[in-house]
Amino acid sequence: MWAILSIKVENKPGILFKVTHLFRSRNFNIDSISVGVTEDPKYSRMTITTIGDEKQIAQIVKQLDKMIDTIEVRKLDENNTVYRELVIFKIKVSKPEDSMEINKLASAYGAKTHDAKKESIMVEITSTPHEISAFEELAKKFGILEIARTGITALQRSKH
């Protein structure tokens, strides 16, 4: 089971190490992690995606909640959450018409193109992991030279 964890922590040195160490010591893998200061600079929000069964996810949430620097831990419901990831692809351009095709593909996914050169073009896409994977599959035919990912960031939707 894929899980999105939202962890509000005190914004101080060493907290990222403590959280990642907790995952490592429990033999959990972090698929993606993003961290940033919240609306209150005293706190940061970590968004971590991981895979495990219900029991394992519940255990990691419980352990994170016990940490002194942790303010709040929530396993977010994927259906009631806005979550996105930013990815930049450097895609190979072998012939002149590739550039036009890549631009069309990027446009179809609401992506932006940058740094168009004779040999490559960069595409920036912000979307769900599913949409990004779909784009990546279509871009593979041109040749993906490099990928940089930010990790997922998420907020739960309001109840009303």
Reported as a single tens digit per residue, the pLDDT across 135-156 is 999 999 999 999 999 999 999 9
What integer pLDDT is reported at residue 1 of this predicted model? 85
Q: What pLDDT, in 10s, does the model give residues 28-54? A: 899 999 999 999 999 999 999 999 899
pLDDT for 92 beyond 80: yes
For residues 128-134, average pLDDT: 95
User: C-alpha angle with apex 71: 67 to 75, nearest 5 degrees?
Assistant: 85
pLDDT for 26 beyond 90: no
What integer pLDDT is reported at residue 113 of this predicted model? 96
Is the separation of the CB atoms in 134 and 80 below 8 Å?
A: no
pLDDT for 160 beyond 80: no
Same topology between domain 2-76 and domain 82-156: yes
Stated as kind and residue range, the H or E segment containing 5 is: strand 2-10
DSSP 118: S
2-76 CATH fold: Alpha-Beta Plaits (3.30.70)
Closest to 9 in 3D by CA, of 40, 30, 31: 40
pLDDT for 96 beyond 90: no
pLDDT for 89 beyond 90: yes
pLDDT for 20 beyond 90: yes
Structural domain boundaries in the chain: 2-76, 82-156
Report the chain's mean pLDDT, rounded to a whole number: 94
pLDDT bin (cut points 50, 70, 90) of residue 73 is very high
The architecture in CATH of the region 82-156 reads 2-Layer Sandwich (3.30)
